[in-house]
Amino acid sequence: MAAGLAVWLLTSGSRDEETAAAVGVDGGDSRIVPSGELTALPGEAGHALYWAGDRPGMELEYSDSDGNVHIRYLPEGTDPGAPEQTFLDVGTYPFKGAYRATKALAGQKGMVRVRHRHGVGFYDRSRPYSVTLAYQDQPNLQIEVYLPEKNQALKVVRSGDIVPLP
């Protein structure tokens, strides 16, 4: 559970409406991935990856930092590694016990529990820009859905679009 808390704090603790810091994006590590190459990404990362499906007018940016992978949705023509964090970002973070840790964090004061398919998640009531999820069938992965507009990450999660890459 400590690892889950650490990942959650590192990835969501500093974000708010006014200062949307880049999430795991490093221009040297990021690249646009053509749709024909998506199926190779989980093998490259060494674990399942989650995304929000195809989105018209968007390109997928892939960045990997020690297995912590971000799939960011960039408007066509945006350079990979763009520092702006105004885009939908789906992060997949591997660590042992992620499902158990996420379930425990979802019950903490100030967190709002979110149910999604066969998983559990939460968001911080005071910063509703990021939803953290984990699934029983992938107990060692935690997923974060981030959008810098209030409650929009939750809307994406509730739409059912967050699924494993094909």
Q: From CA 102, how far away is CA 60, in angstroms rounded?
A: 26
What are the domain boundaries of the chain? Answer: 2-164
pLDDT at 115: 85
| Burial classification of residue 116, based on how many CB atoms lie within 10 Å of its CB (0-12 exposed, 13-18 middle, 19 or more buried) | middle
Phi, psi of 113 (to 5 degrees): -70, 140
pLDDT at 29: 82
The residues, any chain, with a CB within 8 Å of residue 153's CB and separated by 6 or more, are: 123, 128, 129, 130, 131, 145, 146, 147
pLDDT at 117: 79
Q: Which pair of structure tokens corresponds to residue 107?
A: 């019950």
Judged by DSSP in three states, 123 sits in: strand
pLDDT at 18: 37
pLDDT per residue of the chain (166 residues) written in tens, 0 to 9: 444 444 444 444 434 433 333 344 444 589 999 989 999 999 999 999 999 999 999 999 999 999 999 999 999 999 999 888 899 999 999 999 999 999 999 999 999 999 877 899 999 999 999 999 999 999 999 999 999 999 999 999 999 999 999 8
Q: From CA 48, how far away is CA 28, in angstroms rounded?
A: 23
pLDDT at 90: 98
| Burial classification of residue 58, based on how many CB atoms lie within 10 Å of its CB (0-12 exposed, 13-18 middle, 19 or more buried) | middle
